Amino acid sequence: MAGFGLEQWVSYLGLERVVDPDKDHPVYRKRLNGKIIDLRQLDLLVAQRLRDLRTDRQLAQAKVAMLLGLKEATYARYETASSLMTVGRLLHVFEVLNITPEEFFDPFVKERPPQSEGNSQEAERNKLMEETVGHLQKLDETALKMVHDLVLAMEPRTIEKQKGNGAAKAAP
């Protein structure tokens, strides 16, 4: 099976073709708060979220910088988006601020407008998935391992059901 073509994938994900002034070719994005936000604006939102989380914890920039092994000026540039972090550095920031990636990005995801009627099943599935993940995050290691083993045991039956009776296709 070759998989989805570009147009099918774009449609499946609900992406829109946009022109990014920093690129010489089109890119595909999803709406946030009903509009497409350019990548620079998204960098600024991430920087603001970082700053808000630090101040909510009543931590000085100098202290966070020290915990990250950075100069204060370097860390300050992250909070203004004048310098961008690597993914590894961002994960380190999450450790220092005691936050998960899901918690950090949750406001960006939650602000998305509701799915259209045509995607109501997909929206319901996404909501169920989100709620399930929330419950899983609260489990201790033993309970999480039990749920994991149960899901693995159920997987072959789910795949067979999808193949055999015309049930919804698995995500590509």
Q: Which two tokens stand for residue 132?
A: 């399930």
Q: Would you state the pLDDT for residue 117?
A: 47
Mean pLDDT of 39-59: 92
The answer to whether the CB of 123 falls within 8 A of the CB of 129 is: no
Which CATH class, in words, describes the domain spanning 7-99?
mainly alpha
pLDDT-above-90 percentage for the chain: 35
Task: Identify the burial level of 76 via C-beta atoms within 10 angstroms of its C-beta, where 0-12 means exposed, 13-18 middle and 19 or more buried.
Answer: middle
CA distance 33 to 114: 10
The answer to whether the CB of 94 falls within 8 A of the CB of 104 is: yes
Mean pLDDT of 22-47: 84
Helix (H) or strand (E) holding 27: strand 27-29
Helix (H) or strand (E) holding 18: strand 16-18
CA distance 133 to 99: 16
Task: Identify the burial level of 152 via C-beta atoms within 10 angstroms of its C-beta, where 0-12 means exposed, 13-18 middle and 19 or more buried.
Answer: exposed
Average pLDDT, the chain: 81
Mean pLDDT of 74-80: 96
Please check the confidence at residue 3 and state whether its pLDDT lies above 70: yes
Q: Would you state the pLDDT for residue 22?
A: 74
